[in-house]
Amino acid sequence: MRLGIAVAIGLISTSALGQAPVVRIVGPGAVRCARFSEDIARDPRQEREYFAWAQGVMSGLMLRAPTPAEGNLDLLPPGFGVAAQMDFLKDDCEHTTDQSFTDATLALYRELKRRKGDL
């Protein structure tokens, strides 16, 4: 969890400046989508580890939100629970294998915001 928060803080800090993130992301989510897809095909139990990492990153993004309203996002809203979010990550990675799992995580975060009506 701390790792996800630290990564998210680094991502937001550099993104806010309009620069590309220059943080070194580590952990299970620090891979390309192709690797994520291979890992979960080989051992489906790894999907939970990846998802926990993604939740840590998204939690960190909420902690660093510029306003309290932006930080008030339900990461497990009714109708878009764990299974649906894992499917979102798998689908996103399946369609863009060259992107990073972090990119898929950020796409999920944007989707959660969109469903809340914040986008």
Residue 68, pLDDT score: 76
User: Using one digit for the tens of pLDDT, what is the confidence trace for 54-98?
Assistant: 999 999 999 988 887 777 889 999 999 999 999 999 999 999 888
For residues 76 and 106, give the distance between their C-alpha atoms in angstroms, rounded to a whole number. Answer: 15
40 pLDDT exceeds 80? yes
Question: What is the residue range of 14's domain?
Answer: 2-116
Question: Which tokens in the block code for residue 61?
Answer: 């993004």
Mention every residue, 6+ apart, whose C-beta is less than 8 A from residue 17: none
Determine the Cα–Cα distance for residues 12 and 70; give it in Å rounded to an integer. 13
CB-based contact 105:29 (threshold 8 Å): yes
Q: How many independent structural domains does the chain possess?
A: 1
**What CA–CA distance (Å, rounded) separates 53 from 30?**
9
Lowest mean pLDDT among 10-14, 40-44, 70-74: 10-14
Strand partners, 32: 100
